[in-house]
Amino acid sequence: MAFLANKVDLYLQANGKTLVGERKNILIQNDSDGAGDYIKEWNVSGLAEPTAEQIASYDSAADVYEVNEGVRDTRRAAYGDIGDQLDEIFKDIDAWKTRIQAIKDANTKS
């Protein structure tokens, strides 16, 4: 199951809110009582706190998002330092393209 924070982020985006502007106005908490994460504070101007049903509607989209974030992290590590990539491009752009495509093929997004 996807993290509540990611489902909240998708809810914000679906309702025209920016994560940079609004994420700081939300407090997600876990009391370590087995109940899991919950929204403790919601101070988003012009958007009501989502209901449990609204949050649940983002389960599969958040699952895909989380899988794709893992793929992006793996790709970033495999791509290497941007300075090294620019040097590789300068020396042999075709070899760079081949290497990057192999990384993308080995780490496909959902």
pLDDT in tens, 5-59: 999 999 999 999 988 889 899 999 999 999 999 999 999 999 999 999 999 999 9
**N residues, the chain:** 110
pLDDT at 75: 97
The pLDDT value given to residue 1? 80
Look at the chain and report how many structural domains it folds into. 1
How far apart are the C-alpha atoms of 18 and 2, rounded to whole Å?
Answer: 20
Q: Is the pLDDT of residue 110 over 90?
A: no
Mean pLDDT of the chain: 95
pLDDT attached to residue 69: 94
Based on its alpha-carbon atoms, the radius of gyration of the chain, rounded to whole angstroms, reads 19
Contact at 8 Å (CB) between 78 and 107?
A: yes
Predicted confidence (pLDDT) per residue in 54-68, tens digit = 999 999 999 999 999
Domain that holds residue 50: 4-106
Distance CA 55, CA 4 (A): 8
CA atoms within 13 A on the CB side of 32: 0
pLDDT number for residue 18:
86
